Amino acid sequence: MIRTKTRIFTVLAVGMLALAGCTGGGEDPAPSPPAEESAPSDGGGGNSYATEGPVEEDTEETAECKADDSNQDVPAEAPTADAWPDYHGTGVPVSDTYGPTSREGEVWTCFSHSPTGALFAAAYLRPAVASTEVREAYVSDDPKSSEGDFEHPRMQLRGYKITGYDDTAVSVELVYEGATNGESGLVAFPVTVYWEDNQWALHEEDISSVKPHSVTGLSGYTQWSVG
């Protein structure tokens, strides 16, 4: 299925429209999240958004995926991120254990084949799908595109819940905080990743049909954000 640039932009923008619906002056706007919910200090936070040290480029020695697949449990609490490097305005959790253990330019690869690895992959792919390189690498049924990058939405991850899991696919909802008209609000994005060709991948039909929705707090979700 061939996707137009307008269609992708609409999908990327729809979350901010949902956010606008809950904070942008409607008849019943949702309140801004309490400080302890929107910026938790104990939700698996690692270091700051800045990447610590140079990004390791792939070599013959580092090309083999070193992510740890041994823990197949669905995480009962927020996994610890070793850092939260900035990806076009969004902090993305990274882990030496669960991935991505290789970061080269826009494309970050090597996530563990586990529920936690899938969670880290989803948290990266949600903002990264705006990149042409990432779509070519991770959207399994999308043709190569020369349309260029799309606008990267600037929102910060606040929490998640895993809604389905087996060894071939993991479905999660990722809750992001963003701002519109000077007010902040929370938006939940459903994301499903599929284990294909030794990596977690996205399906184009899922991206096109995603339906983010506004939430008023993190009840029912696990808090997960930079500390």
pLDDT tops 80 at residue 145: no
What does the alpha-carbon distance between residue 127 and residue 91 come to, in Å, rounded to a whole number? 9
Name the H helices within the chain.
5-23, 35-38, 115-128, 132-138, 204-209
The proportion of the chain whose per-residue pLDDT surpasses 90, expressed as a percent, equals 52
pLDDT tens string 76-128:
999 999 999 999 899 999 999 999 999 999 999 999 999 999 999 999 999 99
Residue in the structure block whose two tokens are 């008023």: 216
What does the alpha-carbon distance between residue 122 and residue 199 come to, in Å, rounded to a whole number? 12
Which amino acid, residue 174?
L
Q: What is the pLDDT of residue 17?
A: 46
Out of 77-86, 147-156, 187-196, 198-207, which region has the weakest mean confidence (pLDDT)? Answer: 147-156
Q: What is the pLDDT of residue 180?
A: 74
pLDDT class of 210 with cuts at 50, 70, 90: confident
Out of 48-57, 81-90, 175-184, 208-217, which region has the weakest mean confidence (pLDDT)? Answer: 48-57
Domain spans, the chain: 5-51+65-223
Asked whether 207 and 189 are in contact (CB, 8 A), the reply is no
pLDDT tops 50 at residue 15: yes
What pTM was computed for the model? 0.75
| DSSP 8-state symbol, 216 | S
- SS3 category, 25: coil
Please state the length of the chain. Answer: 227
The mean pLDDT value for 24-40 works out to 36
The mean pLDDT value for 188-193 works out to 97
Check residues 99 and 153 and name the one with the higher pLDDT: 99
